Homo-oligomer: A and B are copies of this chain.
Amino acid sequence: MAGAANQHQTPESPPLLLLHRFPSFNLYFLPFLQTKYTVLDPFADPPDPSFPTLSKSARVMLCFGPTPVTSEDLDRYPSVEYVLGTSAGINNFDLAACRRRGIRVTSAGDAYSDDVADYAVGLTIDVLRRVSAADRFVRAGSWPVQNEYTLGSKVSGKRVGIVGLGSIGSRVAKRFEAFGCSIAYNSRKQKPHVTYTYHANVKDLASDVDVLIVCCALTNETHRIINKDVMTALGKMGVIVNVGRGALIDEKELVELLVRGEIGGAGLDVFENEPHVPEPLLTLDNVVLSPHKAVLTPDSFAALEELVRSNLEAFFSNQPLRAEVELN
């Protein structure tokens, strides 16, 4: 496969690096990559005339954020051996197709985990203690006029349920322990060496907690794992925080339950059809809405850059990859 590249490149040419992205997505460290690799960009401006030929020889596809990688994409780029993802979630990749072709896949691993965990805690405090609502109240000039203000609910001591106790979930748990919260969780399997209460199904978890924090990967098994039953089990005072993916929750049901006051509140960083946010949410006072930004800090970007750079070097020098996804 490297032989095909050599038809167009001298042996000393930098290795080919195929970008796979929505036109609107960019990476700030692309200029650095261009000093080390022959970067092939389908949306180069002006268009790169060598793209159609060279892209067939590229061994690495660098996939930006949520850009889907389908079986057809892999047909189009027959030399790809490695799909390098820049998201923590890789539900946008056809993993079965990658497995069939023997393509290796890496994700952003835990480059974002601290930031997402911090954000999940921030959203939880925000919903329970009504921080954004308070800010809205003050900015609207209501404080001098209305003496009464809706009370929030205490954070310390709450029962926190975590859906998906992975790299992010375990960091969320550690943070809430410092607030004197009790921790329970759901995941495919009970984790060894973890003392938190395990629930084999999400509905049981929901009936046992005050706050449900959704931070598992989106897969066929977890699609709408938070359905109406689960939310009803969480109850009228219960709060849902989603920093995973929008499709982990039945969004239509969530909106109805929130509007009818049948669950207590929600902190949502992700939605089913981003950037579309269901209209009724925009005027509710017991929700905090966020434009899929739990990962967005300069520090996360720096950690991602380091991971991408080191995985590219590792791949081209036959060293082990970090954050590789098991495909079996």
Q: A interface vs B, CB < 8 Å? A: 24, 114-115, 117-119, 121-123, 125-126, 129, 131-132, 134-139, 141, 143-144, 147, 149, 151-157, 174-175, 177-180, 274-277, 282-283, 288-291, 293, 296-300
Contacts and interface: CB of A to CB of B under 8 A. Distances in A.
Given A175-B178, A297-B153, A131 B132 contact: yes
A288 B290 CA distance: 15
Given A144-B275, A297-B151, A122 B125 contact: yes
Nearest to A274: B143
Contacts of A299: 153-154, 157
Nearest to A152: B297
B123 A154 contact: no
Contacts of A297: 129, 151-154
Contact of A155 (B122, B126, B131, B151): B122
A290 B135 contact: yes
Given A114-B180, A156-B114, A277 B138 contact: yes
A76 B157 CA distance: 44
Given A114-B179, A175-B179, 5 more contacts: A115-B155, A119-B131, A121-B121, A143-B274, A152-B296
Identical chains in the assembly:
2
A135 B291 CA distance: 8
B291 A143 contact: yes
A118 to B, nearest CB: 4
Contacts of A180: 114
Given A115-B154, A122-B122, A131 B288 contact: yes
Q: Which 10 pairs show the lowest CB-CB distances between chains A and B?
A: A122-B125, A178-B178, A138-B289, A154-B299, A114-B156, A118-B155, A143-B275, A134-B290, A132-B132, A144-B275
